[in-house]
């Protein structure tokens, strides 16, 4: 296979390396000097190898803000999130394709603009469906605020439609966003490293988090199953055990209260 990889180099001027390509490459891996590598010289055709497809999928999926590293790991059938983290490394440094906070910094012809213009209403609809149309209590930085808002809606103090319109305006202004996470949801407008890089335990204390007891319970169950797959002295085992302990501590502190027992059993 050699320097060419397992695929023949794609021919044609459309696949020639340009200056902008080298700039993009430098963002993906700051430890390499692509400008000095022979196969990446401007004007050369792109050298394509099989692992690049895996790297690209992990990289841009994580960069999008909608795909967690656990999902990437499942897609690639990796035995641990550490390998998925390796493939998705530095994705947080790249232009976020789908996140509205960077809208004004992007060029107008970027595909992200078309998506971002249409997305705020859909994002808010998903947020309200997950929080207001679900009987389960929510916790976390934003979750606690949303729980108080739910109580005010139930008491008739505020209208859910008025709240939704106001939230859509906030989304349009780039003040709020929403995407699901393994623990519930995230309302941050920037890509959270704890979500993208699989370090979701940080979400427990994040100001933009929405934590659902049922998802915490499901994740605890999954991590217990994962422990059985790793050697006790391995890095994967230690990382999983640490995350499991933190989740169980959070569950005991936040959820194991008399008024929440029916929620956890539902």
Question: In residues, how long is the chain?
Answer: 266
| 214 and 141 both lie in a single domain | yes
Torsion over CA of 134, 135, 139 and 141, rounded to 10 degrees?
50
pTM of whole model > 0.85? no
| 115 and 244 both lie in a single domain | yes
Query: 179 in a domain, yes or no?
Result: yes
In this predicted model, what pLDDT tens digit does every residue of 190-201 receive, in sequence order? 656 555 555 577
Q: What's the rounded mean pLDDT across residues 122-151?
A: 89
| 28 and 140 both lie in a single domain | no
3-state secondary structure of 121: helix
pLDDT band at 86 (very low <50, low <70, confident <90, very high): low
Collect all residues with Cβ–Cβ distance below 8 Å to 76 and sequence separation of at least 6: 54, 58, 83, 84, 87
In the predicted model, is pLDDT for residue 43 greater than 80? yes
Lowest mean pLDDT among 93-107, 112-126, 187-201: 93-107
Question: Which residues constitute the domain of residue 41?
Answer: 2-48
CB atoms under 10 Å from CB of 11, counted, come to 9
The DSSP element (H or E) to which 181 belongs, if any, is strand 179-181
The answer to whether 8 and 49 are in contact (CB under 8 A) is no
pLDDT for 263 equals: 46
Query: 59 in a domain, yes or no?
Result: no
DSSP state of 211: E
| 134 and 260 both lie in a single domain | yes
């Amino acid at each position: 296979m050699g320097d060419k990889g397992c695929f023949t180099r794609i021919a044609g001027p459309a696949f020639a390396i340009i200056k902008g390509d080298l700039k993009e490459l430098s963002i993906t891996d700051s430890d390499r000097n692509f400008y000095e590598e022979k196969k990446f010289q401007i004007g050369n055709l792109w050298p394509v190898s099989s692992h690049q497809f895996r790297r690209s999928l992990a990289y841009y999926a994580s960069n999008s803000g909608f795909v967690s590293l656990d999902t990437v790991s499942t897609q690639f059938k990796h035995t641990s999130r550490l390998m998925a983290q390796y493939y998705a490394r530095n994705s947080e440094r790249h232009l976020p394709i789908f996140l509205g906070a960077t809208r004004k910094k992007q060029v107008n012809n970027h595909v992200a603009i078309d998506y971002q213009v249409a997305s705020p209403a859909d994002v808010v609809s998903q947020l309200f469906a997950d929080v207001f149309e679900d009987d389960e209590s929510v916790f976390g930085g934003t979750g606690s605020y949303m729980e108080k808002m739910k109580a005010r809606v139930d008491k008739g103090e505020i209208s859910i439609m008025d709240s939704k319109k106001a939230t859509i305006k906030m989304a349009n202004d780039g003040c709020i966003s929403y995407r699901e996470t393994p623990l519930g949801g995230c309302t941050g407008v920037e890509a959270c490293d704890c979500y993208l890089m699989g370090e979701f335990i940080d979400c427990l204390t994040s100001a933009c988090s929405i934590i659902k007891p049922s998802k915490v319970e499901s994740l605890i169950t999954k991590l217990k199953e994962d422990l059985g797959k790793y050697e006790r002295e391995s890095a994967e085992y230690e990382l999983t055990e640490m995350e499991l302990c933190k989740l169980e501590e959070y569950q005991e502190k936040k959820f194991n209260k008399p008024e929440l027992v029916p929620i956890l059993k539902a």
